[in-house]
Chains A and B, each alone.
Chain A
Amino acid sequence: MIWLTWRQHRKQAFYTLLGLAALAALLVPIGLAMRNTFGDLGLTDCASQLARADVAQATRETCETGYRRFGDRYDSLNLVAVLLITLPALVGLFWGAPLVAREVEQGTHRFVWTQGVGRTRWALVKFGLVGAGVLVLATVYGLGMSWWVDPLTKAAYEGRLGMIVFDLQGIVPIGYTLFAVALGVFAGTVWKRMLPAMGITLAGYIGVRAAVELLARPRYQPARTQTFSIEGEGPPEVSRGDWVLAQGIRNPDGTVISEGGRIQCPPGGKGPDGRVCGAELGLEPGAYNWQLYQPADRFWLFQGIETGIFVALALLLLYIAVRRLRRIA
Chain B
Amino acid sequence: MDVVLEADRLGKRYGSTWALRDCSLHLPAGRIAALVGPNGAGKSTLLHLAVGLLKPDAGVVRVFGRSPYGDTEGLADIGFVAQDTPLYRDFTAAELVIAGGKLNKRWDAALARQRLAQLGIPPDRPVGKLSGGQRAQVALALALAKQPRLLLLDEPVASLDPLARREFLQSLMGSVADSGTTVLLSSHLLADLERVCDYLIVLNSAQVQLTGAVDDLVAEHRQLVGPRHDGGTIGGVAAVVRASHTDRQSTLLVRTDGPVTDPGWTVREVSLEDVVLAYLADGTTQTSHSEWGVPA
Contact = CB atoms under 8 A, between A and B. Distances in A.
Chain A–chain B contact at Cβ < 8 A: yes
Interface stretch (B98-106, B193-201, B228-236, B262-270): B98-106
B74 to A, nearest CB: 10
A118 to B, nearest CB: 4
A107 B55 contact: no
Contacts of B104: 115-117
A107 B128 CA distance: 13
B103 A117 contact: yes
A24 B42 CA distance: 54
B72 A118 contact: yes
A116 B72 CA distance: 6
Contacts, number: 69
Contacts of A7: 91, 95, 99
Interface string B234-271: 00000000000000000000000000000000000000
A4 interface: yes
A74 interface: no
Nearest to A8: B88
Contacts of B106: 116
A65 B89 CA distance: 61
B77 to A, nearest CB: 10
B54 interface: yes
Q: How large is the interface on A (under 10, 10 to 19, 20 to 34, 35 or more residues)?
A: 20 to 34
B52 interface: yes
A123 to B, nearest CB: 13
A227 interface: no
Given A7-B91, A8-B88, A117-B72, A112 B103 contact: yes
A108 interface: yes
B51 interface: yes
A115 B139 CA distance: 12
B80 interface: yes
A325 to B, nearest CB: 11
A114 B72 contact: no
B24 interface: no
A44 B88 CA distance: 55
Contacts of A108: 86-88
Interface in B60-108: 70, 72, 75-76, 78, 80, 82-84, 86-91, 95, 98-100, 102-106
A115 B98 CA distance: 13
Contacts of A327: 55
A94 interface: no
A329 B48 contact: yes
A217 interface: no
Contact of B99 (A4, A11, A329): A4
30 contacts: A2-B102, A3-B98, A4-B99, A7-B91, A7-B99, A8-B88, A106-B86, A106-B89, A107-B83, A108-B86, A108-B87, A108-B88, A110-B48, A111-B82, A111-B88, A111-B142, A112-B103, A114-B52, A114-B53, A114-B82, A116-B75, A116-B106, A117-B72, A117-B103, A118-B70, A118-B72, A118-B75, A121-B72, A329-B48, A329-B53
